[in-house]
Amino acid sequence: MTEKKNIKIIIIGGGLVGSLCASFMGKRGHDVAVYEKRSDIRTAKLSPGRSINLALSHRGRRALRSVGLENEILKTSIPMKGRLLHDLTGKTTSIPYDPVTNEVKFKFYGDSPTKLCIYSVGRNFLNQTLLRAAEKYPNVKLYFNQKLVSSNFNQGTVTLLNTNTCETYEEVAELIIGADGAFSSLRRLMQQTPLFDFSQKYIQHGYVELSIPPERGHLITPNHLHIWPRGEFMMIALPNQDNSWTLTLFMPFDKFENLKTEEGIRKFFWETFPDSIELIEENELVRVFTRLNNPSTLVSVKCKPYHVGSKYLIIGDAAHAMVPFYGQGMNAGFEDCFLLDDLLGKLDEDIQKTVNQFSESRVESAQAICDLAMYNYEEMKSLVTKLTYRIRRALDNALFKQFPDKWVPLYNSVSFSHMDYLQCLENRKWQDSVINKLLLLLITMLVWIAGFVSLKLWRAI
Domain boundary among 221, 255, 290: 290
Domain boundary among 273, 290, 307: 290
At 48 the pLDDT is 42
> What does the alpha-carbon distance between residue 60 and residue 338 come to, in Å, rounded to a whole number?
9
52 with 209: CB under 8 angstroms? Answer: yes
Q: Does 183 share its domain with 252? A: no
At 160 the pLDDT is 98
Q: Furthest-apart CA pair in the chain: how many Å?
A: 100
Residues of the chain scoring pLDDT < 50? 1-2, 47-50, 103-110, 112-113
At 461 the pLDDT is 67
pLDDT tens, position by position, 43-94: 976 544 445 679 999 999 999 999 999 999 999 999 999 999 999 999 999 9
At 398 the pLDDT is 85
Q: Does 147 share its domain with 46? A: yes
Q: Is the peptide bond before 305 cis (omega within 30 degrees of 0)?
A: yes
325 with 236: CB under 8 angstroms? Answer: no
> What does the alpha-carbon distance between residue 424 and residue 366 come to, in Å, rounded to a whole number?
11
* Number of structural domains the chain divides into: 3
Q: Does 164 share its domain with 259? A: no
Q: Does 135 share its domain with 163? A: yes
Q: Does 159 share its domain with 239? A: no
Q: Does 228 share its domain with 265? A: yes
At 444 the pLDDT is 87
Cβ atoms within 10 Å, residue 431:
18
At 382 the pLDDT is 66
Whether residue 66 is contained in a domain is answered as yes
Query: What CATH number corresponds to the domain at position 65?
Result: 3.50.50.60
Q: DSSP states of 77-133 as a string?
A: SEEE-EEEEE-TTS-EEEEES-SS-SS---GGG-SSS----EEEEEHHHHHHHHHHH
Q: Does 22 share its domain with 150? A: yes
> What does the alpha-carbon distance between residue 368 and residue 366 come to, in Å, rounded to a whole number?
5
The helix/strand count (H/E) of the chain reads as 15, 20
- Per the structure, the complete domain to which residue 212 belongs is given by 205-290
